[in-house]
Amino acid sequence: MSLSEKYKQAAMSLQMVQPFEGSRHVGWKSPSNIALVKYWGKREPQIPQNPSMSFTLSNSFTETSIEYSFYDKSGPKIHFTFEGKNELAFKKRIERFLESIIEYVPFVKQLELKIESVNSFPHSSGIASSASGMSAMALCLVSIENQLFGTLRNKSEFFEKASFLARLGSGSAARSVYGGFVVWGKHERLADTSDEVAVKVHVPGKDMWELGDAILITSSEKKKVSSSAGHDLMDHHPYAEARYEQAREHVPYLLEAMEANRDELFIRVVENEALSLHALMVNSNPGFSLMNNNTWSILEKVCDFRKDTGIFIAFTLDAGPNVHLIYRKKDKVQIKKFIEEKIIQFCENGYWIDDEMGGGPVELN
């Protein structure tokens, strides 16, 4: 039985909320993540065309709290503020998200939800805010289910359903409900992987793979092509099938690189993934590029630095012009010096974000 079928069956017992007085509260801090093997291309309902692999960040997160009360009319009734302001576009997205998952969480139809959300990072900063935002929202919803019905007291089942719901809001959000390295998407060589939820990956030699992520902001402008539109362009892309096969090969290669401490293989896969993602954009119909001149200058400087010093460092990019520098935390002093001396001139207003691998979401009191 698929998880979708399982949750639809379980929803039969989640239909009726016993009326209660006053309001109750849930809250979660959920991080973003950076994909090392990219997710690009999907089919309905939010199913990836290829497996992806990421690690969860620490300092780049969304905090979402929900005060909820019984609502005796046809709901849900939603109030939403982002960083203290009424954001209509964000509210509409939350409404669409709840509509898409109502068959799994029907109890929300009997609730009034006062949702407050804040980010630890600015918009257009090269960080996947949909991953942190939708995962935080999903975690709040499964917490509400637990408070009302007591159905998800098993920790693994709790986070599994959160990943399932988060995926339907934003594909990459499925990965943000776990800390460390995470895989989303079915892979025949990796046990327990699924297109419906993400799974945590345990890597031997953990100390070797405690990674930092320096996020270099080359532009804060809104992307001219959204990620959703980019995914849609993969439907008839001439290189789509080759890309999906490449990603299926890259996930086990990356795990092999970490298990055997093969730095060159890790770097080759991660950087190839970043460049492949942007090559797919250029070769789309219509084609487009999200990289800029400063992006290319940074990539060149990173390659030169690695060649000159032998320090482990790799670049990657999401669907935008900003660069993520992946490095071992033990080399942070050298990496920061490199950024300040060679890279900061290519960052918009000298701005970059100092982040690292994190342990995953945290429930708020």
User: Which CATH number belongs to the domain containing residue 228 in this structure?
Assistant: 3.30.70.890
Give the C-alpha separation, 114 to 30, whole Å: 18
Provide the mean pLDDT of the chain.
94
Domain identity same for 232 and 163: no
Whether the Cβ atoms of residue 101 and residue 107 lie closer than 8 Å to each other: no
Task: Please check whether residue 209 lies inside any domain of the structure.
Answer: no
Domain identity same for 302 and 338: yes
- Give me the number of domains the chain comprises: 2
Which tokens is 303 given?
């390659």
Whether the Cβ atoms of residue 25 and residue 161 lie closer than 8 Å to each other: no
Which pLDDT band, with edges at 50, 70 and 90, does 126 fall under? low
Q: Which of 143, 169, 202 corresponds to the end of one domain?
A: 202
In order of 15, 19, 94, the CA distances from 177 in angstroms are 25, 30, 18
Cβ-based neighbour number of residue 239 at 10 Å: 14
Domain identity same for 173 and 247: no
Domain identity same for 140 and 14: yes
Cite the DSSP H helix spans in 177-323. 227-232, 240-259, 263-282, 293-309
186: domain range?
A: 3-202
Beta strand pairing call for 77-82 and 111-119? parallel
Output the DSSP codes for 200-233.
EE--SSGGGG-EEEEEE-S--SPPSS-HHHHHHG
Question: What pTM was computed for the model?
Answer: 0.95
Domain identity same for 133 and 165: yes
Does the N-terminal peptide bond of residue 238 adopt cis geometry, omega within 30 degrees of 0? no
Which pLDDT band, with edges at 50, 70 and 90, does 279 fall under? very high
Question: How high is the pLDDT of residue 230?
Answer: 87
Domain identity same for 190 and 249: no
Domain identity same for 132 and 162: yes
Domain identity same for 149 and 285: no
Output the DSSP codes for 137-162.
HHHHHHHHHHHHH----SHHHHHHHH
Provide the phi-psi class of 150: left if phi over 0, else alpha when psi is between -120 and 50, else beta. left
Give the C-alpha separation, 357 to 365, whole Å: 23
> Sign of dihedral through CA atoms 221, 227, 229, 233?
positive
Whether the Cβ atoms of residue 156 and residue 176 lie closer than 8 Å to each other: no
Whether the Cβ atoms of residue 281 and residue 290 lie closer than 8 Å to each other: yes
Whether the Cβ atoms of residue 118 and residue 83 lie closer than 8 Å to each other: yes
Question: How high is the pLDDT of residue 89?
Answer: 87
pLDDT digits (tens, 9 = 90+) for 174-206: 999 999 999 999 999 888 999 999 999 988 776
Q: Which residues pair with 33 in a beta bridge?
A: 56
Domain identity same for 38 and 176: yes
- Quick check: 220 pLDDT over 90? no
Domain identity same for 313 and 197: no
- Quick check: 125 pLDDT over 90? no
pLDDT digits (tens, 9 = 90+) for 296-319: 999 999 999 999 999 999 999 998
In order of 32, 73, 175, the CA distances from 194 in angstroms are 20, 37, 12
